[in-house]
Structure 1
Amino acid sequence: MPRATQRPAVLADPSDFLDLARSPNGPRVLNDYLYSDEPQLALHIVSFQDATLISISLPHTLTDGTGGGRIYLSWSLALQGRDDEIPAFHGFDHDPLATFGETSSESYMYADRLVTGWRAILFKLGQWYDSVRYRSESRVVCMPAAVLADLRQTAIEEIRAATKDDEAFVSDNDVLCAWFTRLAISDTPQTSDRTIRIMNAFSLAAVLGNDRIPSAKAYVSNAATEMYAFLSAREIFTKPLSYTAYAVRRSMMNGGTRNQVEALAALKRQYMAENGEPPILGDATMEMISFSNWSKGKFLETDFSAAIIKEGSPRAARANRPGIPSYIQFNAWSKKFQIRNIFPIMGKDAAGNYWLQGPLREGVWDMIDRKLKAAD
């Protein structure tokens, strides 16, 4: 299994562990759920002398990263006999987002970037050709805590100097997304003006916590939207990392308001009603890099210690407490298209290291590996 490193490193292919992650006859497509007694939420456990592998399988229509975190927290509390602390769930009989986006008080800030007509056709043809011409390869990346802390501190200093704003900042996620986006487009010429769209999944739970999704209860269904930053490849390669990180931060600040998330929901609702498919924001030839940070789900803090019968690895040999995950990975199945350029950030482990993974065009991971090794 992948282990934390002292320097940023490309590690294993997540698919190498698929046989340990699911039962041989586990569901892969919709019909496997419709024509069997398989539950949407399935548990698979493999035990060794020194470790236990716990795998959860589910369709994304069931929950998102934040909702999944609430489910695992509740499971953990139940294991510990703390049933009275399990948060009440929003019921399935009412959808608080059913009318979200039916009205909007303002226009979406990137409405002018909607790709339509022949540009949409060109975009789809490009995506189709890329998926047919190149296979996808997935890898896991470890970003050590100390390295990210240095990158973030440097970025904050540069941003404050450039903006003359002593309060300006970027988060771990902003820096991590900026750092990895530069690597993910390694096969793009550094002088290219091609648009790079950096998308971050954004939970609606907090911004709608005062009305549609009251924070007093746990909402475990999907409640996410997207935050977009648009840069050119030239900017990402030639400007400091802080430039891209701050663009990601501004996308959150400007797009994450109550009015803007509703404006985007309204745009998507109207476009879906008129065209029967989700809208595309960007341009016809852009490269899309997408992130989903699961840190708020606290998967790497899930406490299974109440289930321990005998400890495995000695405590001195690991950073995590017994019963706390030391490693998490993600595998996705999609029948109709190759999932590419989508990177879940699994979160921060007990030592402060971040883990992320995802699929890239064949050959790009080798380029990233060489770059990281050359930087050591």
Structure 2
Amino acid sequence: MTSPLRTAAHRITLSRTGARRLAGAALAAATLASLAPMAANAQDTAASAEARLRKVEAEVRALQRKVFPGGDGRFFEPQIGPGGETTTPTATPPTIASGVPAATAVTDILVRLDALEGQLQRLTARSEEQANALAQMEARVAALETAANAPITPAPVLPASQPAVSTTAATTVPATVTPAPKPAVTTTPTPAPKPAAPTTTPPVAAPSAARLAAVQAIAKPQTADAGDDEYSYGFRLWNAGFYPEARQQLDKFVKAYPNHPRISFGRNLLGRAYLDDNMPKEAAQWFYQNYQANKAGERAPDSLLYLGKSMIALGDNAKACIALAEFGETYPLLATGRLADEYKASVAKVKCK
């Protein structure tokens, strides 16, 4: 039989074990009770963070629509509908040239930059081609101008107070032009007709008081070049229509300054002063002398052309044709440039064989 003492000890042991179990259960309950608020707080924090994240995303999408306006959905689809409700995007994302959807707006920008760079390269290549073509054209024009066989030299630029003799303004001669029609001439050109030697300028009759006053009103230049002053004064008299006085002044210049740079201008203008005063015979003598003295002179071409005009005025068409033909062959650039109108008009007045 079990002793009462052992039975009592066994009961005491069972009671201690139950107490321990009860204490452990109580401790677990207390621990769970303490952890429950923490779990609830964690859930609240996660929900709050999710709400804040959604709010930030909505604000970013609104900012994107502000930066990239337009409702066509090219850059960003509308995310906020009427009344502040979020809508589901239905627009098709932009695609690039290969048909693959663009991941972001940056991809679309890069594609556009590539297209702009390609266009810039094509424009640069075209500009270089045009510059090369222009350089070749200028080289050809320069070669044509160099090959021209005009025996004249460019006329010096006159000061403002000393205009050129020719009444036709000088123009740039085109490099590629069709020469004006030339009168029929023989294979071997005949030298320009030689008129009689120039005669001394006849004395001018006593002018009236009014004419004398008008002539005196024309000022004579006073510069460091006395010869140029004499020529310029003769030009001013001729330009004002005082032909006898101009002839007297220009005859003085030609005799006093035979080696002056303006001598070709002076002799030619002296012939013009006779021709404009209806004295073609005397004019022809000076035109011929100026042309023969220096065929490369500044006004030698003008003198040869006006020699033909003088012969037309004298009714000698044969000599006029000879002079005009020689002008067209010797000075082809002037025949199609500065003196083209006068040359064509003179050729139209005669019938050359």
TM (norm. structure 2) is 0.20
Structure with greater contact order relative to length (CA < 8 Å, sep ≥ 6): 1
Decide which structure has greater helix share: 2
